Amino acid sequence: MPPETGKIAWHLITAELHTGMLTLAFASAIIRLVGIHVTADQPVWRGLVRLAEPTAYLAAIGGLLALIASIITGFTYTWPLEVQLTSSVVLNKIAITAFSTTFWLLFLVTRTVYGPRLWDHARLRWAYAALATGGFLTLMLAGSTGGHLAGKRSMLDGILHALGVNTHLLFTLSTAAAYAILIASVSLLAAAAIRRLIWGRGQARRAT
């Protein structure tokens, strides 16, 4: 056997690893969120909720690292780049993986910046849970696309077909739509930053 042929196993290992760890991170974040509203006296539930917070954070760190490793091994150990970029399924998978990586990166940044206190603030915890949900859903979609690349079917096929989503067709936005979304996103971000700045100055003036 040529030495390079066994290397595809690294992609399979890292893919399984990041899927497992990020699913754990998502489940832990949801358990922690539910734990705020469901305050049962059962010690098992209370212990689960208590452990869910650090578990979500640590699993997300490990999962994101494995996800990055999976991206690298996917590019280098599966098919030649020329072949990958010819396949609409591969391009869709790369796009979905990029979205998933962004969600999980923001998940970690949010937790790192605000710390475990973010659970004390409704808007932060909902944002945190939303990021985990976005990351998890895109992760499932990327996994489903990967199933097709491996020549198998996916459990999500029925749902995707019902929604009219065909992961075999290259998904692209029109240039006009892409620019409109880009401008809207940047404008919204700038508006939030300016408003934050004005609010901060107002707070400082009141303090003095």
* 181 near another protein, judged by CB under 8 A: yes
Mask of contacts with another protein, 94-133, x by CB under 8 A?
xx--xx--xx--x---x---x--xx-xxxxx--x---x--
Identify which range of 17-25, 47-55, 67-75, 166-174 contacts another protein by CB under 8 A. Answer: 166-174
Which residue in 42, 152, 164, 204 binds another protein (CB under 8 A)? 152
* 51 near another protein, judged by CB under 8 A: no
CA distance 38 to 24: 20
Rounded to a whole number of angstroms, the minimum distance from the CB of residue 8 to another protein is 6
CA distance 105 to 2: 37
Long-range contacts of 69-74 (CB under 8 A, 24+ apart): 69/14, 69/17, 69/18, 70/11, 70/14, 70/15, 70/17, 70/18, 71/97, 71/101, 73/7, 73/10, 73/11, 73/14, 74/11, 74/15
* 81 near another protein, judged by CB under 8 A: no
- Max Cα-Cα span within the chain: 75
Which residues in this chain contact another protein in the complex, by CB under 8 A? 1-2, 4-5, 8, 78-79, 83-91, 94-95, 98-99, 102-103, 106, 110, 114, 117-118, 120-124, 127, 131, 134, 148-153, 168, 170-175, 178, 181-182, 184-186, 188-189, 191-193, 195-196, 199-200, 203
